[in-house]
Structure 1
Amino acid sequence: MKATRRAVLAGLGILATPAFALGGRNDLRAALDAAEKDGDPAHLASFDARALPPGQRLDLLTARAGLAIDAKLATATGAERYTLLLQQRSGTNVTPARTRRRLTLELDRLTARADRLFRGLGRTQGSVGERYRALFADPQWHYPDSDAGRDQAVADMNRVLDAARARVPALLGPVPPFCLDVTARRLSAAELAAGRGGYRELPTPQKPGAYVVDLKDIARRPSWSLRGAVHHELLPGHMTQMPMEVLADPHPLRRRYAPSYAEAWGMYAEQLAAADGVYKGDPLGELGHSHWLLFRVTRGLADLGIHLDGWSIDQARAQLIAWQGEPGYFAPFEIDLPRIAKEPATRASEAMAWLDLADTAARVPAARRVMFHQAMLRHGRMRTEVYGDWKRLA
């Protein structure tokens, strides 16, 4: 069931408050609606972003940036068009050159980290990609291909989730209590028969949320790979950011022109859990975490390679295999790469929205990190160029 703002507010006993009562402009929403309808940024010209409360300021700044890019996209081709698509989906401070540098730097860092972890386990032969392929194929980490095996995988995920739930207040500060009322569960027999993939049910005050995990091809989901999925899909990941965004009620133009933020938060949440020590004494779990991040980084590099460097699908596949060995469970190469080819700049923008979020967080003093997380969650999604202004959102 989709979580609506009306359901969430009703469950919390909160009445919608007019924007002007919060110090905002009560006519901004109408102006944004008009701009959404005809694409004309002139509707927004009279508003002063500095005088607006945080949510309205984000709505206005995001709409202005996105509409300006759309106007340029109308006539852009080739590399210019790719650049504009990248900026439309992440932020105006993101360029292909900076994206390539940052993703390459992260690839090198993650590869070195995985190599160190593999060596600690005595796995020294072959490239990191080859060692990941061997680790995925090692049957000692596979759950049985049975109902009992799938039940065990979900039980293990929920144990990880219980520990993550207890750490949310220390990591993120206060969040609506219903955000914590979430579990992992299996696809039902009917869903499996229908070929349905994994999905999320966002929590509301009336109903718990869930990450419904796809375990059909359970041999591709070794035990060490699932902890990172818990932190990304559940806590402190999507089950905090997405329901809090429902409460924030961003204008549709903000949802349109900051589409990469939800995945950015999920990836950042994986790192946040790792920095909190969840993999201490668990090198296999840390390898699983590193593989998920490698998957995100290398997809972004494949996006650049296909659209800017002229890579064929086969070239991109060979490079991904060399870098990460195995694909993410839900994105096998034969499905994901044609999609990347059809959706230029999408995976690169998601990766940059995440890395810019992580880089901004790294510059925040540890004593103020919770305040930063509150600012990044409370008002819904945002574009990368406003991350650095987080103090005005707190």
Structure 2
Amino acid sequence: QLPADPAAGPFFEPFRRLPPAMAEAERAALQAQGREAIEREVVPAMRRLRDFVAGEYRAKAPADGSLTHYADGARVYEMLVRQRTTTDLGADAIHAIGLRELDKDRAEMERVMRSTGFSGDFAAFVKWLNTDPRFFVASADELLMRYRAIAKRFDAEMPRLFAELPRGTYGVRGMPEHMGPDAAEFYEGGAVDGSRPGWFNANLVGWRQQPVWGMQTLVAHEAVPGHHLQGARALELDELPEFRREGGGYTAYVEGWALYAETLMREIGAYDDPYSLFGHLQWQAFRAARLVVDTGIHAKGWSRQQAIDFMVERTGVDRAFVEAEVDRYTSDPGQALGYMVGRLKIDELRARAQARLGPKFDLRRFHNALIDHGELPLSTLETLVDEWIVREARR
């Protein structure tokens, strides 16, 4: 954010995207004014912020950010757990759920590993997947084309999974370069009035470190049937108030849906080789490990190193990435719990609907029952699904 030349940084980016039809003199004048304002106002403010964070703030920060070391920290964490998961689950129960799910995912990952004929152990397999040239693209352009091809293929599967689909479209593009090679892919929602599409933002700067076997589950999570499909559908629910359509900040619902979306694509055979299936399972295991580590840090006295070592050994995810993730869980207690808790609640509701409706159960209609209310607390979603089951039984 603070390059030597302010015109090379992100704050100048809008001035590089002025309308093509703008007169050259007007363009040059606006760019000069923008650069001058950034140099005069933005850069000094950003430097002051950086100096404060790196200096006074860091010096006073505790070495261990666990809530167990703060006054009333245990009670605060239990409150955050309920808030972030929108359930009545406690830290101990979530910790146990994480261990259970992680054991299941790890066992399946090892089964998939053996199906490839690989003769080494789990750590050696993960190292091979992350170093062998066959699992990497030759350029940023190739990575972008592969993401777009996966998205297009997934689009064609959506009518068999949903009774009604959103009209809003999405595209696949590279994220801003200043975000760096380690930034995670993310989804950016479209405009409420339909004038702007949604976007799956791929990290093209980091193309050398993105294995192809992890791409399919990423598209399922961020685009369809994950964040884009759910978010675009919500925007079109005109009968809902605007705050419901644009998102209410319920991580357990939004991320739980996206995690469920990944598993849904597995059901229909979208992960069509053992390596992409392994990639899917690794990310599921990583979300399960979050339940263990977040509660371990803030409720069970785990050290930072203990949390990092546990996640690396159990999931095989890169250590540098895990280190950053553990710091995220430490600084934002409970946020990482919503993903797997949300997915498991959706699994539970689906099993309930299938058991009660029997031959009347329609998966396409069930999926619309899940996404046709905007973002919700999981407890409210459960009530709405129970009501939907009653209506479906009468059809």
TM-score normalised by L of structure 2: 0.71
* Residue 370 (structure 2) aligned to one of 368, 376, 383: 376
Give 1:99's aligned residue.
94
- The code of the aligned residue for 1:173 comes to A
Verify the 8 A CA contact 2:78 2:91 in the aligned structure 1.
Answer: yes
Give 1:271's aligned residue.
263
* Structure of higher RCO (CA pairs closer than 8 Å, 6+ residues apart): 1
- The code of the aligned residue for 1:326 comes to V
Verify the 8 A CA contact 2:98 2:288 in the aligned structure 1.
Answer: yes
Query: After the TM superposition, which of the residue ranges 269-278 and 362-371 deviates more from structure 2?
Result: 362-371
User: Equivalents in 2 of 1:224, 1:257: separation in Å?
Assistant: 31
Verify the 8 A CA contact 1:171 1:370 in the aligned structure 2.
Answer: yes
Verify the 8 A CA contact 2:84 2:337 in the aligned structure 1.
Answer: no
Q: Verify: 1:186 aligned to 2:174, yes or no.
A: yes
Q: Verify: 1:170 aligned to 2:160, yes or no.
A: yes
* Residue 145 (structure 2) aligned to one of 155, 159, 179: 155
- The code of the aligned residue for 1:122 comes to G
Give 1:9's aligned residue.
none
Matched pairs, number: 307
Secondary structure of 1:363 counterpart: helix
Give 1:213's aligned residue.
202
User: Equivalents in 2 of 1:374, 1:194: separation in Å?
Assistant: 35
- The code of the aligned residue for 1:169 comes to P
- The code of the aligned residue for 1:279 comes to Y
User: Equivalents in 2 of 1:253, 1:99: separation in Å?
Assistant: 28
Verify the 8 A CA contact 1:94 1:352 in the aligned structure 2.
Answer: no
Moved over 6 A (4+): none
The gaps in structure 1 that reach 5 residues or longer are 1-75
Give 1:113's aligned residue.
108
Structure of higher CA gyration radius: 2
User: Equivalents in 1 of 2:252, 2:353: separation in Å?
Assistant: 22
Q: Verify: 1:223 aligned to 2:212, yes or no.
A: yes
User: Equivalents in 1 of 2:323, 2:255: separation in Å?
Assistant: 22
User: Equivalents in 2 of 1:297, 1:112: separation in Å?
Assistant: 13
Give 2:27's aligned residue.
none
User: Equivalents in 1 of 2:264, 2:146: separation in Å?
Assistant: 20
Secondary structure of 2:190 counterpart: coil
> For the structure 1 residues 253 and 387, does the alpha-carbon distance in structure 2 shift closer, same or farther, using more than 3 Å as the test?
closer
User: Equivalents in 2 of 1:209, 1:349: separation in Å?
Assistant: 23
Verify the 8 A CA contact 2:256 2:338 in the aligned structure 1.
Answer: no
Secondary structure of 2:308 counterpart: helix
* Residue 253 (structure 2) aligned to one of 232, 239, 261: 261
Verify the 8 A CA contact 1:375 1:391 in the aligned structure 2.
Answer: no
What RMSD over aligned residues (CA atoms) do the two structures have, in Å?
A: 2.6
User: Equivalents in 2 of 1:337, 1:253: separation in Å?
Assistant: 31
State the Cα deviation string for residues 348-378 of structure 1 (Å, max 9, x = none): 2332122212232233328322222111111
State the Cα deviation string for residues 31-80 of structure 1 (Å, max 9, x = none): xxxxxxxxxxxxxxxxxxxxxxxxxxxxxxxxxxxxxxxxxxxxx92333
* Residue 312 (structure 1) aligned to one of 280, 303, 306: 303
> For the structure 1 residues 251 and 101, does the alpha-carbon distance in structure 2 shift closer, same or farther, using more than 3 Å as the test?
farther
What is the CA distance between 1:256 and its match in structure 2?
A: 5.4
User: Equivalents in 1 of 2:289, 2:131: separation in Å?
Assistant: 21
> For the structure 1 residues 118 and 332, does the alpha-carbon distance in structure 2 shift closer, same or farther, using more than 3 Å as the test?
same
User: Equivalents in 2 of 1:344, 1:193: separation in Å?
Assistant: 27
Verify the 8 A CA contact 2:109 2:278 in the aligned structure 1.
Answer: yes
The gaps in structure 2 that reach 5 residues or longer are 1-70
Verify the 8 A CA contact 1:93 1:384 in the aligned structure 2.
Answer: no
* Residue 298 (structure 1) aligned to one of 280, 285, 289: 289
What is the CA distance between 1:315 and its match in structure 2?
A: 1.0
Verify the 8 A CA contact 2:342 2:378 in the aligned structure 1.
Answer: yes
Give 2:21's aligned residue.
none
Q: Verify: 1:289 aligned to 2:283, yes or no.
A: no
Q: Among the aligned pairs, what percent are the same residue?
A: 26
What is the CA distance between 1:237 and its match in structure 2?
A: 0.6
Query: After the TM superposition, which of the residue ranges 230-239 and 360-369 deviates more from structure 2?
Result: 360-369
User: Equivalents in 2 of 1:83, 1:253: separation in Å?
Assistant: 26
Verify the 8 A CA contact 2:271 2:277 in the aligned structure 1.
Answer: yes
Query: After the TM superposition, which of the residue ranges 111-120 and 250-259 deviates more from structure 2?
Result: 250-259
Verify the 8 A CA contact 1:130 1:325 in the aligned structure 2.
Answer: no
What is the CA distance between 1:130 and its match in structure 2?
A: 4.7
Verify the 8 A CA contact 1:86 1:348 in the aligned structure 2.
Answer: yes
Secondary structure of 1:260 counterpart: helix
Secondary structure of 2:251 counterpart: coil
> For the structure 1 residues 81 and 251, does the alpha-carbon distance in structure 2 shift closer, same or farther, using more than 3 Å as the test?
farther
- The code of the aligned residue for 1:184 comes to V
State the Cα deviation string for residues 239-295 of structure 1 (Å, max 9, x = none): 111122334456759955733211111111001111111124x11110111111112
Secondary structure of 2:208 counterpart: helix
TM-score normalised by L of structure 1: 0.71
* Residue 328 (structure 2) aligned to one of 336, 339, 344: 339
State the Cα deviation string for residues 114-138 of structure 1 (Å, max 9, x = none): 11110011224223x5532331122
- List aligned pairs for 1:15-164, cutoff 5 A: 77-127=72-122, 129-144=123-138, 149-164=139-154
What is the CA distance between 1:313 and its match in structure 2?
A: 1.1
User: Equivalents in 2 of 1:237, 1:392: separation in Å?
Assistant: 24
Secondary structure of 2:89 counterpart: coil
What is the CA distance between 1:211 and its match in structure 2?
A: 0.6
- The code of the aligned residue for 1:192 comes to E
